[in-house]
Structure 1
């Protein structure tokens, strides 16, 4: 049984034609026609999540895991606003969410009608396209709606993927059903085109690359891409170029340089100009390291090429000279055969400094008191190889990037907008589709903020949640400015006196805790043992003041 609403029948038909069959539904009445149709037709994989904010982040994680669009369905009013944080995150992470919002007819907007707000253009700044379907069901209106839906679905996955929004005004009755097949609706296909560089462009780029004594390649946040990693490895072997990567780049070749923040701290005590690149090549998403951005803004490359499929002019380092509209892997494949072998002095300079910093970091951690620094080092050693690791924002992502990455692990984080509001929901959505062990590491404030991530029926046995409970927002003790303010304790740190144990019990997760290094070692052993066959939460308690002292101490130590 499906809804009698013809626009909804047509929408469902086009979604299936575009192989979009994962639907996240939040309950409501106004979206009833969509709920009846998607759940009743039998060809959609529908999941119900009450909290719209969490539901949208769940969809984000699911879409990342499946590498295909996921549709969201909600009622009218503030339900639509609750999608906004995840829609913005998906926009900056290039994830194609299909946002379907039910609405009142436009004649009720601003007329004191219940559950009714201005929904047209509500996500305008964070979608590639937004449309509102017509209310009437005449032949011309259905034709017009089908054309617009086709365009939205095509745009969502073309070029750089991103969310699209389809707003759907619906009149009562909302719950009339009919036992029919979906209509045959014309599909407007979109043929893909390959972006290609001319032979002369490749020659010119290769010549410029060969002339640059010091080439620095920045790999931003990426989904795992073995082909790209292989060609970059070959390029480093041939040319001695330096590839800088964070864990979120998902590049693991030991020739590449990591440990960026500590590396930058040590480099500034050396002679920074030695490390200044002649040619900078960037691609992928954002870098976490603020120190790297500051270094490259002060020590600008003569040339900076940014590789993109959508013509973004990202001038993050204030040195942009060329935008190359091509996939990074394709670019390096084209360039590599034309590159000359070079001395590897520049690469060796970076690798020697990295080795020095790693040794100093390990020594400092070994000498440190119980703190977040010890905790993240132990977690990194305990997480099994070939896992998926989700990093919460604020301190977790920064601590994790100080430590070595887990062998053959894939890393994800909501670094599009870098908010603390949805990392656990995103991880839960990803883990629901993943066959691997998924660990989410987040702070106590972020955990409590997003605790509704556990309020659904899709928590898999492969989920491990680690909460670093340092009793507040310890990130503000690590960065300059807030920690010196009289308002620090109440309005920045925001002291937290609560524990996660009750929430773990409420949602059926096995609970572990640790308050010192011995307890942590034992808890992690059980937490990741083969016997642990249920979702679990590990809460680790540390002291914020000691955390701040040891974190700052590490950076002083590596500057030796």
Structure 2
């Protein structure tokens, strides 16, 4: 009988990545749960196999081999209590930072706690036995395959990360008897680099940076990324709270939402920096490099190949230095992106009275050097379609991405600079969720809050939420929580905030808004903090978003419209019949 690799894909992925990362020594202990793993390894001449019946002894052997060779050693054991015998040696390896990789095979984790023979709980390890522990589940679809790839890479990299140490992989098996797979699947290898390492060369092609939410940039950091972009004809696509205001900034959120193909969004290499973002799909990369001081494996695009554990300025300066260029380098990519951005900006339709209309009206009118805090989710999206004035720092609670503390965060920030204006934009559910913060006695006269009140969570009723709209009959009662907090009462927020010492403004239509908004954005500190409550309708919010997403139509649609404008309906119908098309 010919024997090759098991057909269990999670096992294949692990074996393929062991080979890619140059790990070949394996100490196997007998058992049935690890048959698919060990049976696959032993038929591959790449691996240097050893056998040891006692798992405690096997783990200590691995310590000796790792210390002597300086290379990782793999352990393999079955289910039941076999893995418990690894703990003494793994403790030794932990304190000596030895690269021992304990692969403990297991049945499906859903069996834990149900009195299934030989199934024990390995979800938690003693703190001083391993530096990393992951679980590779049975692969049922491509998402599972991606998850196993990322976790296996993460575990293998942890063997040498920050001095290294022992690592644990819990490997599910289905006890497959099929060993007919002749070739391992090609696996994406993720590698990690520090500033001391020899850095990889860039792949050829178009390069871009995406910056998620980010703390304030220093001039040194901005200069570094600008040098890099100048050297490689690159651009920086930004989240609204990225706070990068260098030459190569591209606020591309609105362009990216249009239903057209756009070559500017297709890149060969994306440098991913910053933190959480709701706007990563601005860009469609073939390959991603992550730059972050934490060195974590963050694979937001599922195309990560390299992680650079260093400061962003260090990364960009190092690669800029690699390019011997003069100051006349090509900025064509930037110019193409800015042209598309400008074109869309000049074609904003006459939106109905909505959050988007308000954002369009105010985004370029806020006082310079003020601070803007955007709530989750409508404020972040609505204001993210417009380019906010460079001197304004923009922040948002994108970390946890919840509506529960937007006002409190704004107030806390405002206390740090009493002489600077702090603007906050929130929806009604977020406002009432956190309204007790307005009664805090420390709230200063530098706080100004724009409240967009449509009496529900409009997000759940927007046309883009087809998964909800098409499946649920009554969205308003419970899912979007309609008509709480006064049913858009014109008096509730007014009385509450005025009694707390706020100046209150309101508007329910464009004409009313135009009459009062200038007071809200006055650049001088006023005697009181302000609340500007704006009442909108969910129907108008939905229509405004539809219009924003369909500003630029495809060339085919434009040609059709042009033809219809010059030909009669009879001629068009005749043509359809002749060509047999509808």
Report if TM-score (shorter chain) is over 0.5.
Answer: yes
CA displacement 1:128-180 (0-9 Å, x = unmatched): xxxxxxxxxxxxxxxxxxxxxxxxxxxxxxx9xxxxxxxxxxxxxxxxxxxxx
8 Å Cα contact 1:220/1:284 also seen in 2: yes
Following the alignment from structure 2 to structure 1, what is the Cα–Cα distance between the partners of residues 443 and 221? 33
Partner of 1:70: none
Partner of 2:540: 546
- Pairs within 5 Å for 1:125-144: none
State the alpha-carbon separation in 2 of the partners of residues 197 and 382 from structure 1: 43
1:493 aligns with 2:480: yes
Give the direction of change, closer, same or farther, for the CA distance of 1:291–1:239 in structure 2 (3 Å limit): closer
User: What corresponds to 1:391 in structure 2?
Assistant: 374
Q: CA separation in 2, counterparts of 1:336 and 1:344?
A: 15
Contact 2:454 2:488 survives alignment (8 Å): no
Q: 1:232 aligns with which of 201, 225, 228?
A: 225
Give the whole-Å Cα distance in 2 for the aligned partners of 1:275 and 1:345: 14
Task: Check 1:291–1:559 CA distance in 2 against 1; reply closer, same or farther (3 A cut).
Answer: farther
CA offset at residue 394 of structure 1?
1.4
| Equivalent in the alignment of 1:218 | 210
Q: Deviations over 1:164-200 (max 9, x none)?
A: xxxxxxxxxxxxxxxxxxxxxxxxxxxxxxx9612x6
Question: Normalised by the size of structure 2, how large is the TM-score?
Answer: 0.57
Over 3 Å counting, the alpha-carbon distance change for 1:515 and 1:275 in structure 2 is: closer
1:536 pairs with one of 530, 533, 549: 530
Instruction: For 1:437 and 1:346, locate their aligned partners in 2 and report how far apart those are by CA, in whole Å.
Output: 36
SS in 1 for 2:429: helix
Give the match's secondary structure for 1:324: strand
Q: Secondary structure at the match of 2:550?
A: helix
Q: Distance in 2 between matches of 1:377 and 1:271?
A: 24
Would the aligned equivalents of 2:438 and 2:500 in 1 still touch at CA under 8 Å?
yes
- Given candidates 242, 248, 252, the residue that maps to 1:249 is 242
Does residue 352 of structure 1 match 2:339?
Answer: yes
Shift of residue 369, structure 1, vs aligned partner: 2.3
Q: Which runs of 5+ in 1 are unaligned?
A: 1-123, 125-158, 160-194
TM-score between the two structures when normalised by the length of structure 1: 0.59
Partners of 1:531 and 1:459 in 2: CA distance: 14
Report the counterpart of residue 298 of structure 2 in structure 1: 314
What does residue range 375-454 of structure 1 map to in structure 2 within 5 Å?
A: 375-434=358-417, 435-454=419-438
Post-superposition offset of 1:254 = 4.7
**Alpha-carbon distance, 1:340 to partner:** 4.4
1:270 aligns with 2:268: no
CA contact (8 A) 1:250 1:410 kept: yes
Bigger relative CO (Cα 8 Å, ≥ 6 apart): 1
1:457 and 2:449 matched: no
Q: Is the 8 A contact 2:227 2:317 kept in 1?
A: no
Kindly state the Cα deviation for residue 351 of structure 1 after the two structures are TM-superposed: 3.0
Asked if the contact 1:424–1:453 (Cα under 8 Å) also holds between the matched residues in 2, the reply is: yes
CA shift for structure 1 position 448 = 0.4
The alignment of Structure 1 onto Structure 2 pairs a total of residues equal to 350
Instruction: Determine which of 269, 282, 292 is the counterpart of 2:272.
Output: 282
Deviation (angstroms), 1:549: 0.9
Q: Report SS of the residue matched to 1:502.
A: helix
Deviates more, 1:466-475 or 1:527-536: 527-536
> What's the CA shift for 1:455?
2.3
> Once the 2 structures are TM-superposed, how far is the Cα of residue 238 of structure 1 from its aligned partner?
2.6
Deviation at 1:372, TM superposition (A): 1.8
Offset at residue 370 of structure 1 (A): 1.9
Instruction: Say if 2:458 is the partner of 1:474.
Output: yes
CA RMSD between the two structures: 2.4
Q: Which residue of 1 aligns with 2:506?
A: 513
Q: CA deviation at 1:498?
A: 4.0
CA distance in 2, matches of 1:531, 1:352: 37
- Per-residue CA distance 1:287-323 (angstroms, 9 max, x = gap): 222643xx63xxx42x321111112111000001011
Could you tell me how far apart the structure 1 residues matched to 2:441 and 2:413 are?
14
Structure with bigger helix share is 1
CA contact (8 A) 2:414 2:444 kept: yes
Show the counterpart of 2:153: none
Spell out, residue by residue over 1:502-528, the C-alpha distance to the aligned partner (whole angstroms, 9 max, x if none): 221232211111112232223221123
**C-alpha separation in 1, matches of 2:367 and 2:542:** 28
Cα deviation for residue 244 of structure 1 reads: 0.6
* Change over 3 Å in CA distance of 1:399–1:275 after alignment to 2: closer
Which ranges of structure 2 fall in alignment gaps of 5 or more residues?
A: 1-126, 128-161, 163-192, 555-582
